[in-house]
Structure formats: structure tokens, C-alpha cells
A and B are shown apart, each in its own frame.
Chain A
């Protein structure tokens, strides 16, 4: 129990769309343990994104509860929830979603500024993390001056630099060619293995599914299968 990082209990999510109720999640239970490298897969509309939104506190469940690092995040609101996400969750998005007017260094630094990390430590951490993701010397470039793969590496660095408990990645390879995607997955897998960083992916990508240590398949808002892999 103490090894459980995220505990999803009987979570349901109902959206009202044009007067019609859509059940995105149906009384779903799921545990994510520390150090896992898990992929949540499933067809479109199966509830992957909704589940990640709720697990990260970006959205609230209609029913049920979500615990992350022992805190009931499904009940948190406003500033408390923002602070919790800042300190405990790293995000990697499908379209990189870096702040275009900030350089790679500033994009990575931003979250540490929110955390109140001192300047010297910020510089050290940025240098280390850029080295980890293979972007040394590119810290002053803005996103538009980087390739898609390089931007996603910055996004990984941004997600990791705050030392979160877990990194949630939504289709992180969707906009990358297969070799760049594979290379990024290797970086993430390495970080998982070397630093014990927990990764949770939402994906359609067979490369991610193949590399995942655990594969959760969703169907119609429920867990269809949950498979531990070597």
C-alpha cells in the first residue's frame, strides 16, 4: 500500500454534450505504483484522456476519488490544487506546448520559479537536465528554433526538473517521426530505470506499448485488461 502512488477509486465521469449524457469513465479502479512505466491504451473515446485529466487533478470526477502521494486530489481546488500539481506532477503534452516566447532554459526554469527555487540551484538543475535529455548548448534557443524532437526533449526536461512524483505524458510521440519518438522513449525509459521516475502514458503508439512495463487497456470507460510486462 505504501508503494502506491496514485489510487483511483470507483471514478466515474459523465459529460453533458448537447443535452446527452456521455459516460467517459464508469466506476473505474486503478492503482499506479512508484517507479512504474505504465501505458494506458485503448481506442478513441475509451476514456484515456479523461482518466489522465482526473488522475492529475486537471479535471474533477463526477463520482469516486483519486489519491496521489497520499493526498485526496479529487477534493482539492484552486491554488491548493495548482501548488500540488506544481510540486508532484510533471506533464508532457502531445504538441510539446512550450511557452513560445521563452527560451528552452526559461521554459524549464519557469516551474522552478513557481516553486521558489533559488537562482544558483535553478541554473545547476537546468544544466543537468539539459545534459540528460541531450540538449546541451541549446538552452538559449526559443521553441521555434528547435526541431519537434528537441522541443519534446525540452518538455521532458520541464516535466522532470521540478522533481515530481510522477510524469503524465499524453501521446508524447504523436507528432514525432518514429526514430525521434523511439529515441525520446529510450530517454524516458532510462530516466525511469536510473532515477526511478514514475511515468504514465496515454497512447495509441505501439512503440510506447512495447516499451511499457505495464499496459492498461481501457474500453468504454472501464479497465479491459491490466498486464504487467517484463
Chain B
């Protein structure tokens, strides 16, 4: 075996240029898969983060059916107990109660329908990015409960600026009667998400409850968890514990189901790309081995003539494929690591592009995972060996007389 390994390595290094070029081609293929994987992972992370951190939260608790109809009456049952229980949850880092209702904003310059959220400025500040997205004016404070935050697009439609007055009209709970109140624009936010900048508005939770005729009740509790994985893990007892008494606790996968579809789609895309790329890897290896085999046909004839068994002949080819794939793997790891390292520092700018209902608002940074450094090198070796089976079988079936046409 030692001699066969020696033979394989020396044969591979016999034509260094060809070996390097083949290794480079295979290595680039492997590196491209590593990069695509890292990019997809980074992009999905970014999309999930954008979707959850901007405002939604990583999880939410509502009354059953509230998200389907957004009926003002459907407030969280036993909200005080829910809040008390959440305070004792180890996996929940933040929670923030909200009201949510359709409303009409009107000013001297125009009218705009929005989803009006009543928020607790203190808890919301840590949980979502509403405060950070305020570009003009100020975020809501405890002392200015008559202020409203509107999006940049809404401000354009209503032709208002900070300090201007807006009339908010909502339908009250239980009675359905319209309720109106005047607010001053305290701040204009820009989240970079069209739907948010034109369709959301925020007022103080107390004022929202009063406006909607709610007596200390709320519609939604936004949640943040220790890890994002926990927020997507339905097997945790947390979800069952809070999905009782007519309430429903959901994670980001239920809140933004299109993201789950994007993730599944990315897996399928990666699998197809992987199949195509590694198909090319296999053909490259096969081509290189056949070229080498044809060049050394007489030599193979001699090896057969002096008593090398067919299986051992196949073994020589497979060892050469293994050697070539190891060289390719090293080249691929160096290139892949270099690319990932560079772009994980500098990022790739996809900002403003909307995908599956989520607008990318930040640079995409490819993510390093252990899988990239284990799975793809392993696949390179496996595909190389599978591709080498054909030339190996060919070598095994060589008859010495045919291989050595010129002599014995």
C-alpha cells in the first residue's frame, strides 16, 4: 500500500502544470460552493434579523385569531399574568406590550391609513429598532404622550414635519365607534422598508389604550430570546405554556412564513448548485485521470504484465484521484478562506433589494460555518473518487497486450 501511495503521489506530481490546473479548477469550484454557502447563510441571517429586530420581535403573543382579523376586541387574555410569567422566563431576554389597530391619519395636506401601534417607549427601545430609525425629531418619551412617530413616506403623503398636528381616527373596541384624537409629530422614522415607512405609526401605549377604549389591555407582546434558534424552535415547552387560555405564542417562522420558504428555497438552490458544481469537479478529475492514463498506457501494460492484479490497477487510479482531490481541497480551502475572510470583513452591498417581503437594509456579510470546512472538502473527495471509478475500471480491464501494442 505504501508503494502504491508513493506511486500515486509521484504520478500526480509528474505533470505539475496539469495537476495544478486541475487542482485549481476543482479548488475554485469547491471555494465557490463554500462562498455561496457563506453568502446564503449571511443573507438569511440578515433577512431574519431585519425582519425580527426592526420591529416584529423574534416572537409574539396574541389572542387567538388576532393576527387573522386584527379585531380591536381580541386582546391578550390574562395579560397581567402573562407579563408576570414572562419576567421569570430564562430564555426570554426582552418583552414589550403593544396595541395594534388600523387607523386613519389626516393632516391639512392629506390622508393616510396606517397600522397604529401603541408602544411602551422604555421596553420597545431595547427590543426593536424604532428609536434608532428616527431620523428627524425625537423618539417617544414618558413625558410627551401626545406625540406620534410616523414614517418618512407617511410624512411626505401627509405633507407634515416634526411639530405639525395630525388627527388619528380609530374604531374603538366593543362599540366600534370612531374615536379621534390629535397628536403632534414628535419624530419621523426611516426604516428603509417601504411598508414600514408608509404604513406604520407609533404612539404611547397608554394613549393608544385610551383611544381604543381598552382598559389596560393590549393586543401583542413582542419577545426577544437568548438566541434566534430558540425563537424558531417549536419543540421548546415555552410555546405550549403561552399558547393557552385563548392566547397564541408564535415564533418568527410563523410570523414571517415567507422567510421559512426562502430558507427552504436556499437549501434546494444550494443542493442544485452543489450537484452541478461537483458534477463539473467529477468530470475535471475524470478528464485529468484519463489524460494521465492514456499517456502512460504502456506503463500500465507493463504493470499488468509483471503481475499487478486488476483490482490493484484500479487502486492506483483511485489513489491518484485521492491525491489530486487532496491537492484540490487545499487549494479550495485557501481560496475559499481568502474570499470569505475578505467579504466577511467588507460585506456585499445588497441594500434596498426586496426579497420575499423583506428589504435588505444592511451589508451582507458571508458567515463562516464548520460545515463549509468539512462538508465541501469531504464532498470534493467523494465526488473525485466516484468520478475516478470509470478510469479505474478502465485501467483494471486493460489487457497487457493491448496496452503494450509496441512490445510483447
Contact = CB atoms under 8 A, between A and B. Distances in A.
B306 A49 contact: no
Interface string B103-114: 000000000000
Contacts of A97: 298-299, 302, 404, 407
Nearest to A159: B306
Contacts of B408: 49, 52-53, 56, 58, 91, 93, 168, 170, 202
If over half of B's interface residues share one DSSP class (helix, strand or loop), that class is named, otherwise mixed; here it is: helix
Given A49-B408, A95-B406, A97-B407, 4 more contacts: A82-B304, A86-B308, A97-B299, A162-B307
Contacts of A180: none
A72 to B, nearest CB: 18
B273 interface: no
A99 interface: yes
Interface in B282-298: 298
Given A58-B401, A101-B10, A110-B3, A85 B305 contact: yes
A91 B306 contact: yes
9 contacts: A56-B408, A58-B305, A59-B400, A93-B408, A101-B10, A106-B3, A113-B3, A114-B306, A168-B408
B3 A111 contact: no
Contacts of A111: 306-307
B300 to A, nearest CB: 10
B310 A78 contact: yes
A98 to B, nearest CB: 8
B311 interface: yes
A220 to B, nearest CB: 20
Interface residues of B, number: 26
The 3 closest A-B pairs by CB, nearest first: A86-B307, A101-B10, A59-B401
Interface string B392-408: 00000001110010111
A86 B407 contact: no
B307 A93 contact: no
A106 to B, nearest CB: 7
B7 interface: yes
A79 interface: yes
Contacts of A86: 306-308
A99 B304 contact: no
Interface string A154-189: 000010001000001011000000000000000000
A102 B14 CA distance: 11
B7 to A, nearest CB: 7
A114 B308 contact: yes
Given A101-B10, A101-B14, A170 B407 contact: yes
B3 A87 contact: no
A109 interface: yes
A83 interface: yes
A78 B307 CA distance: 10
B308 A82 contact: yes
Contacts, number: 87
Interface of A: 49, 52-53, 56, 58-59, 78-79, 82-83, 85-87, 91, 93-95, 97, 99-102, 106, 109-111, 113-115, 158, 162, 168, 170-171, 202
A79 B14 contact: no
B11 interface: yes
Contacts of A79: 309-311
Among B299, B310, B401, the one with the most A-chain Cβ atoms within 10 Å of its Cβ is B401
A12 to B, nearest CB: 16
Among B6, B303, B308, B400, the one with the most A-chain Cβ atoms within 10 Å of its Cβ is B400
Interface string B259-270: 000000000000
Nearest to B303: A99
Contacts of B299: 97, 99-100
A102 B308 contact: no
A171 B407 contact: yes
Interface string B194-226: 000000000000000000000000000000000
A50 to B, nearest CB: 9
A18 B305 CA distance: 27
B306 A53 contact: no
A76 to B, nearest CB: 12
A199 to B, nearest CB: 14
Given A58-B399, A99-B299, A93 B407 contact: yes
Nearest to B11: A101
